Amino acid sequence: IDHITMNSTQVSHFILGAYFGTKLLKYLFFSIILCLYVLIIGFNILLISVICVNRSLHEPMYMFLCSLFFNEMFGSTALLPFLLVQLLSDVHTVSIPLCFTQIFFIHSYLGVEFFTLTAMSYDRYLAICKPLQYQQLMTAKVIAYLVLATFIISFLGIAISTSLSFSLQLCRNFINKVYCTNYSIVKLACSDTTVNNIYGIISTVVSTFIPVTLIIYTYNRILKVCYSGSRQTRKKALSTCIPHLVSLINYTFGVSLEIYQSRFNTDHFPRLTKIFLSLYFIVCQPIFNPVMYGLNLSEVRKIWKRLLWPSDDMCCELALYT
């Protein structure tokens, strides 16, 4: 299928051209995506439940983690069920309202994820560099404001960007991806996209420059404390910062893959590789975070031990009921 050109009044749907029609493989991919989606929802719900039930975990860092886990369920739900339906379908089309709804949710997920990771770096900075003032500075009200701000700022920014794209006159309806993105819609426009491009540049600079500057500043101060502090201080700081840093690197890597694929020609890549690159940020991050942070929670490790290696007492109790 090549690019389809038409008048803007005739565009009633988009064709997603990155799906391939091998009927045998689509069931395999459907099974893989379904298993990944179930794991994402299961892992994130498990960790949110563990944090909510255990009062000892009602600390700022874990409150931010709850927001992070909720956002990852939100982001994966915005795409993966749609992907499952498309895999089983023989006609890979999406209506305009559904396409723009998907754009709003996926881009909002990306914004909330990055701002939450930024808030977590600020929280680690206060906990390590200003431990005596930490309880006064990071109160429940401050946490609520920060979490709320991550969602409001992301939703407002993406709402403006989506509305600008929605008002464009479209002359083509072929998207060479497995889902809709804002940049792919802008490339289909036959009207002037200057406003979209200017807003895209400004919003990208603001939403990237400020968080990155804050993250660099906080970790610069944390590293100074680590080098000047005792061995125990270094060990404690690293144990709390390494999972966050690894999560941040994984997020940046996934988004970079998506940006590279959207902005540069990747026709020389195998189709499977391009699909993997475009899905990395929406699949790997929601699985990677709960597994990594879950392994650091003793309560979660206890639950897994009970499930995988039941104790003798538990076996005896089960034997009584059988």
Mean per-residue pLDDT, 236-245: 80
Higher pLDDT among residues 302 and 65, named by residue: 65
Tell me how far apart the alpha carbons of residues 214 and 119 are, in angstroms, rounded to a whole number: 9
| Confidence grade of residue 23 (pLDDT, cut at 50, 70, 90) | low
Tell me how far apart the alpha carbons of residues 208 and 113 are, in angstroms, rounded to a whole number: 12
- Name the residue type at position 147: V
Q: What's the token pair of residue 268?
A: 């020389």
The residue among 10, 256, 290, 19 whose CA lies nearest residue 114 is 256
Q: Would you say residue 243 has pLDDT above 80?
A: yes
Tell me how far apart the alpha carbons of residues 179 and 101 are, in angstroms, rounded to a whole number: 11
The pLDDT tens digits of the residues spanning 88-138 come to 888 888 999 999 999 999 999 999 999 999 999 999 999 888 888 998 999
The pLDDT tens digits of the residues spanning 129-158 come to 888 899 899 999 999 999 999 999 999 999
Mean per-residue pLDDT, 61-68: 92
Name beta bridge partners: 13. Answer: 95
The residue among 297, 199, 216 whose CA lies nearest residue 252 is 216
| Confidence grade of residue 2 (pLDDT, cut at 50, 70, 90) | very low
Q: Strands 174-175, 13-16: parallel, antiparallel or unpaired by DSSP?
A: parallel
User: Considering the entire predicted model, what is its pTM?
Assistant: 0.86
Q: In what order do the strands lie in the sheet with 13-16?
A: 93-95, 13-16, 174-175
Q: In degrees rounded to 5, what are phi and psi of residue 16?
A: -95, 110
Name which of 12-26, 51-65, 166-180 the model is least confident about: 12-26
Q: Would you say residue 202 has pLDDT above 60?
A: yes
Which CATH code for domain 18-321? Answer: 1.20.1070.10
What integer best gives the mean pLDDT of the chain? 83
Tell me how far apart the alpha carbons of residues 51 and 65 are, in angstroms, rounded to a whole number: 9
Tell me how far apart the alpha carbons of residues 226 and 230 are, in angstroms, rounded to a whole number: 8
Higher pLDDT among residues 193 and 2, named by residue: 193
pLDDT attached to residue 171:
84
Question: Alpha helix (H) ranges present in 59-95?
Answer: 60-88
Q: 132's torsion region: left (phi>0), alpha (psi -120 to 50) or beta?
A: alpha
Mean per-residue pLDDT, 214-229: 85
